[in-house]
Amino acid sequence: MTHVLRLDATIKSDGSVSKQLTDRISERFSKAGAAITSRDLSAGISMIDGAWMGAVFTPADQRSAEQAKIAAESDAYLAELQAADVILLGLPIYNFAVPAQVKSWFDHVARQGVTFEYTETGPRGLLSGKRAIVAMSSGGTTLGSDIDFASGWVRHMFGFMGITDVEFIAADNMAVAAEESLHAAFDAADKLAA
């Protein structure tokens, strides 16, 4: 059975285009028999700091009670990512880049020795064999344009961890051509292999 990790990051309570896309794609996978684990990153995700670094780089059986508490959030994100076959990321574009909560999630899961390692020939991702689908929405940032500072970074971060099968479904330029953009994104989502 395929296991999908769905991550939503929108701060909109209603009318989110990225959430409409992740809803549609999730439904497609569910109908194909996939198990879905959902996490709303906008509900709260901590930023990493020095205490976090000390906690996660201490072996689990040697952590203090405080370190175990600090590491628990990050370890939960990591376990969800490791268990998933497909990562479905709802990516609204805020000010030409990823929302802060998406950056924080990647900070939690990009962990040396767990999701990547350094070798004599450079970094090597440890999560190969997974697939990522990014449901991107934006008011005026076209996917892959000179002002799109999000999609390349997200593709790089997934690839850094070994996830090189990354596909974007984009409802971009919603401020200019909402109906056409949303229709094209829904059409692309409906053609995804589940």
Split into its structural domains, the chain has a count of: 1
pLDDT band at residue 136 using 50, 70 and 90 as cut-offs: very high
For residue 111, what are the domain limits?
3-190
pLDDT (average), residues 128-143 = 96
Q: How far apart are CA 158 and CA 143, in angstroms?
A: 17
Q: How far apart are CA 159 and CA 123, in angstroms?
A: 10
Residues facing residue 166 across a β-bridge: 132
Q: Output the pLDDT for position 194.
A: 84
Tell me the pTM.
Answer: 0.96
Q: Which two tokens stand for residue 19?
A: 């959430």
Query: What's the CATH code of the domain at 101?
Result: 3.40.50.360
User: Quick check: helix, strand or coil at residue 37?
Assistant: strand
Residue 139 assigned ligand-binding role: yes
Q: How far apart are CA 117 and CA 161, in angstroms?
A: 9
Residue 140 assigned ligand-binding role: yes
Residue 159 assigned ligand-binding role: no
Residue 13 assigned ligand-binding role: no
For the stretch 62-73, pLDDT in tens is: 999 999 999 999
User: Quick check: helix, strand or coil at residue 192?
Assistant: coil
Residue 128 assigned ligand-binding role: no
